[in-house]
A and B are shown apart, each in its own frame.
Chain A
Amino acid sequence: MRRSTTPAHGAAPVHLGMPSFPRAAAEAVHDRTLRANLRHATHTIREKRAGAVAELDDWDRLREAGKRIKDHTLRHLDRYLEQLEEAVTGAGGAVHWAEDAAEANRIVTALVKQTGEREVVKVKSMATQEIGLNEALRAEGIAAYETDLAELIVQLGDDRPSHILVPAIHRNRGEIRDIFADRMGRWGRPAPEGLGDDPRELAEAARLHLREKFLRARVAVSGANFMVAETGTLVVVESEGNGRMCLTLPETLISVVGIEKTVPTWRDLEVFLQTLPRSSTAERMNPYTSMWTGTAAARARDGDGPRTFHLVLLDNGRTGVLADDVGRQALRCIRCSACLNVCPVYERAGGHAYGSVYPGPIGAILSPQLRGIGSDIDASLPYASSLCGACFEVCPVAIDIPEVLVHLRERVADRGGAGRRLEKAAVKAAGWLLDHPGALAAVERTASRTRALLPNRPPGAGAWTAERELPELPPEPFRDWWRKNRT
């Protein structure tokens, strides 16, 4: 496993020593098991999603509404965040503001320590992965247990997630069986004797293992899919019921949420609770949707839910993204992962090649914005796409991912640096030639005439010719044919 580290400016962790995307992807491409697992999983969910979306005749309008709600919220985010803070506080919660990963980790660690507990249960959350919370807690002697089935597989396997929704998508059931049988005992209740690789058996083993943790835990950590500014309500959308357990059983609940998860009103959920499940799991309705508003309900009627609730609002680069006219649309993302499931590059490269908790097309536009383009991996992510547009087509909040990719390529090209000098010179030379048709024709003619002399695999063309032939050059360019035959 690659270790994560938090850079000095406290943004999201970059996987230490993570190579550029092309290099990481090249390895994955040749991993047959991985390719087969990914192909099977993404194609299955891809088709199901298409079916679930096709059922709705107002899909385009829902998509447009989702886009507008998010754009409106982002434009007035300062106002809505204040409203949210007021509402959460009014309902008995405490709100903390974290500028970066380091600050968020410090806040959460301190809050857990105040309770005197040494362990927490977790609901799957991208934000806490983004800031490397589990590692930060471990450094302070606090164990964080993931309770989502796939996250459990990743955690037990000492692995990294490779998909937003299905973090263990790169594993097949044989591999999962082995991980459970080997590792569960080290973390708690061991897997039953003679565990097989039947999905039901595997789920039962996880259930037994996790139940013990749910019943013991006094502190839970979650993220949230949505935060409603007008009421201070947080919403977690999940499929296994583990979220419901974490959000109701422990006495203390700490939620770490990116500031862009805000929506203005309760009514806005109407749109996203339709588009999210259909886009992510191809379900008409989400199985477990938990909503809570501070601790008011728990206090008033001695009902369910935590007695203490903390909301940590995470910036970690987001206000910087907001300032970019083109790039900010990435903050509309509702993490449905539809873009991953249709992406031909993700399917071959796998999630790990993206060097971030956000893989696939959304990761390729989000990571370089949140973390900057300083590292090899972040500077290479905007190019990790053939710009085929499949992601944009399925995105339920209409993020024009190809547009943002090209925009970020400009940023990388502008920055220049050693690796770009040659490219820039080539673009400039080609640009000059293409702006001088006379010279262009001369070059085309020379190339055509000398084509017999050219080597089949000219030096420097290795990236093309390693697995492909170059096209044969014609006897003359089109413009010469035209001159001879039509003028």
Chain B
Amino acid sequence: MRVALFVTCVNDAVYPATGIATVELLERLGVTVDFPAGQTCCGQPAFNTGYRRETLPLVRRTLHAFQGYTHVVTPSGSCAAMVRRHYPELAGAAGAELATRTYELTEFLVDVLGVVDVGACFPHRVTYHPSCHGARLLGLGDRAHRLLTAVKGLELVELPGADECCGFGGTFAVKNPQVSTAMGRDKTASALATGAQVLCGADNSCLMHLGGLLRRQDAPLRTLHIAEILNSTEEKPRP
């Protein structure tokens, strides 16, 4: 099977390790991965801030970049939700059509490849934050839990109040910084209370916010994208 990787602008510029892990993981599972170089950003930041007109060129660019692929896979619930929820309205039939071909990573693994045990090994205590767009807009449910539970050596601990927003919210994080960080600190406090060593998520934007708070507090907890955990194996472990 051949898929197009939609790495997203944030992962491209700030978290390439997540993109690399996604590529290696999919290849390990027998998938051929393409990276259409014309891709940049789905347009969500502009759209959610109220700049619909400025969003449209990015929507057209994204549609063009992923033409012809039956599956477009992205390690971001939020960007997948942008395509699925808003492209039909922003780009008509072509948008609706791309929406049916776009998959968030855990969704692609569980629903399309039909795997839960990806053969990973990650001997650490992990707690998982399901980001809002993945949970509410895509309805990802327990897919990440099933994938993580199958990882060798991994101890998954429940995050209390997991369904509550972490407070990132795109431009919300800088337009309402006090409320945003108050929400984030409640989230990091719950995560710390679990005694986990790793706070895992499927959206690096949320993890950038939570990780930024944790590092400022010098907390003994780091953030890691689920792709990097699933790409960790006995032969090539992710520290």
Q: Tell me the count of chain A residues lying within 8 A, CB to CB, of chain B.
A: 59
Q: Which of A455-473 contact B (CB under 8 A)?
A: 463-464, 466-471, 473
CB distance from A36 to the nearest CB of B (A): 12
Judge whether A344 and B183 touch: CB under 8 Å: yes
Residues of chain A within 8 A (CB-CB) of B47 are 406
- With contact pairs A348-B179, A386-B183 given, residues A477 and B165 touching in the complex (Cβ less than 8 Å): no
Judge whether B51 and A427 touch: CB under 8 Å: yes
Residues of chain A within 8 A (CB-CB) of B213 are 467-468
CB distance from A70 to the nearest CB of B (A): 22
Residues of chain A within 8 A (CB-CB) of B57 are 431, 435
Judge whether A477 and B13 touch: CB under 8 Å: yes
Inter-chain CA distance A451–B15, complex, in Å, is 14
Q: Is B92 an interface residue (CB 8 A)?
A: no
Judge whether B178 and A478 touch: CB under 8 Å: no
Residue of B49, B180, B208 touching A413 (CB-CB under 8 A): B49
Q: Is B155 an interface residue (CB 8 A)?
A: no
**Taking CB as reference atom, which chain B residue is nearest A462?**
B177
Residues of chain B within 8 A (CB-CB) of A428 are 54
Contact bitstring B36-62, A, C-beta under 8 A = 1, else 0? 011111000111111110100110010
CB distance from A338 to the nearest CB of B (A): 15
Residues of chain B within 8 A (CB-CB) of A479 are 7, 12, 35, 37
Q: Is B174 an interface residue (CB 8 A)?
A: yes
Residue of B41, B50, B164 touching A412 (CB-CB under 8 A): B50
CB distance from A257 to the nearest CB of B (A): 33
- With contact pairs A383-B176, A478-B20 given, residues A389 and B136 touching in the complex (Cβ less than 8 Å): yes
- With contact pairs A345-B179, A388-B136 given, residues A474 and B170 touching in the complex (Cβ less than 8 Å): no
**Taking CB as reference atom, which chain A residue is nearest B173?**
A464
Inter-chain CA distance A482–B184, complex, in Å, is 33
Residue of B23, B170, B181 touching A467 (CB-CB under 8 A): B181
Residue of A345, A413, A469 touching B176 (CB-CB under 8 A): A345
Residues of chain B within 8 A (CB-CB) of A447 are 13
Q: Is A16 an interface residue (CB 8 A)?
A: no
Residues of chain B within 8 A (CB-CB) of A65 are none
Q: Is B103 an interface residue (CB 8 A)?
A: no
Contact bitstring B4-20, A, C-beta under 8 A = 1, else 0? 00010101111111011
Residues of chain A within 8 A (CB-CB) of B181 are 466-468
Residue of B11, B17, B165, B211 touching A386 (CB-CB under 8 A): B165
Residues of chain B within 8 A (CB-CB) of A408 are 50
Residue of B16, B46, B175, B184 touching A427 (CB-CB under 8 A): B46
Q: Which of A22-30, A111-119, A235-243 contacts B (4 or more CB under 8 A)?
A: A22-30
CB distance from B47 to the nearest CB of A (A): 7
Inter-chain CA distance A486–B22, complex, in Å, is 13
**Taking CB as reference atom, which chain B residue is nearest A407?**
B50
Residue of B14, B37, B163, B212 touching A468 (CB-CB under 8 A): B212
Q: Is B182 an interface residue (CB 8 A)?
A: yes
Q: Describe A's contact surface by its main secondary structure.
A: helix
Residues of chain B within 8 A (CB-CB) of A349 are 179
**Taking CB as reference atom, which chain B residue is nearest A428?**
B54
Inter-chain CA distance A410–B20, complex, in Å, is 36
Inter-chain CA distance A383–B49, complex, in Å, is 8
Residues of chain B within 8 A (CB-CB) of A471 are 14-15, 208, 211-212
Residues of chain A within 8 A (CB-CB) of B23 are 482, 486
Judge whether B20 and A481 touch: CB under 8 Å: yes
Judge whether B169 and A386 touch: CB under 8 Å: yes
Q: Is A298 an interface residue (CB 8 A)?
A: no
Judge whether B212 and A469 touch: CB under 8 Å: yes
Q: Which of B132, B171, B178, B208 has the most CB of A within 10 A?
A: B178
- With contact pairs A409-B48, A431-B58, A468-B209 given, residues A386 and B20 touching in the complex (Cβ less than 8 Å): no
Q: Which of A402-431 contact B (CB under 8 A)?
A: 406, 408-414, 423-424, 427-428, 430-431
Inter-chain CA distance A29–B212, complex, in Å, is 19
Inter-chain CA distance A424–B45, complex, in Å, is 12
Q: Which of B11, B137, B177 has the most CB of A within 10 A?
A: B177
Judge whether B169 and A409 touch: CB under 8 Å: no
Q: Is B95 an interface residue (CB 8 A)?
A: no
- With contact pairs A412-B50, A468-B213 given, residues A478 and B40 touching in the complex (Cβ less than 8 Å): no
Residues of chain B within 8 A (CB-CB) of A270 are none
Q: Is A434 an interface residue (CB 8 A)?
A: yes
**Taking CB as reference atom, which chain B residue is nearest A30?**
B178
Inter-chain CA distance A383–B137, complex, in Å, is 19
**Taking CB as reference atom, which chain A residue is nearest B135?**
A389
Residues of chain A within 8 A (CB-CB) of B49 are 409, 413, 423, 427
**Taking CB as reference atom, which chain B residue is nearest A433?**
B40
CB distance from A267 to the nearest CB of B (A): 33
Q: Which of A365-390 contact B (CB under 8 A)?
A: 382-390
Inter-chain CA distance A437–B211, complex, in Å, is 28
Residues of chain A within 8 A (CB-CB) of B87 are none
**Taking CB as reference atom, which chain A residue is nearest B10?**
A471
CB distance from A465 to the nearest CB of B (A): 8
Inter-chain CA distance A448–B213, complex, in Å, is 22
Q: Is B2 an interface residue (CB 8 A)?
A: no
CB distance from B35 to the nearest CB of A (A): 5
Residue of A386, A423, A431, A444 touching B167 (CB-CB under 8 A): A386
Judge whether A435 and B40 touch: CB under 8 Å: yes
Residues of chain B within 8 A (CB-CB) of A437 are 37-40
CB distance from A341 to the nearest CB of B (A): 13
Q: Is A393 an interface residue (CB 8 A)?
A: yes
Inter-chain CA distance A362–B36, complex, in Å, is 41
Contact bitstring B128-147, A, C-beta under 8 A = 1, else 0? 00001100110000000000
Contact bitstring B47-91, A, C-beta under 8 A = 1, else 0? 111111010011001000000000000000000000000000000
The 7 closest A-B pairs by CB, nearest first: A386-B169, A409-B50, A468-B212, A388-B165, A413-B50, A478-B16, A478-B19
* Apart from A393-B136, A434-B9, A434-B58, 16 more pairs, CB < 8 Å: A35-B182, A345-B183, A349-B179, A385-B172, A386-B180, A389-B133, A390-B163, A406-B48, A411-B50, A431-B57, A437-B38, A440-B40, A447-B13, A466-B177, A471-B208, A479-B12
A-B contact pairs, 7 of them (CB 8 A): A35-B182, A383-B176, A392-B136, A413-B49, A427-B51, A431-B51, A478-B12
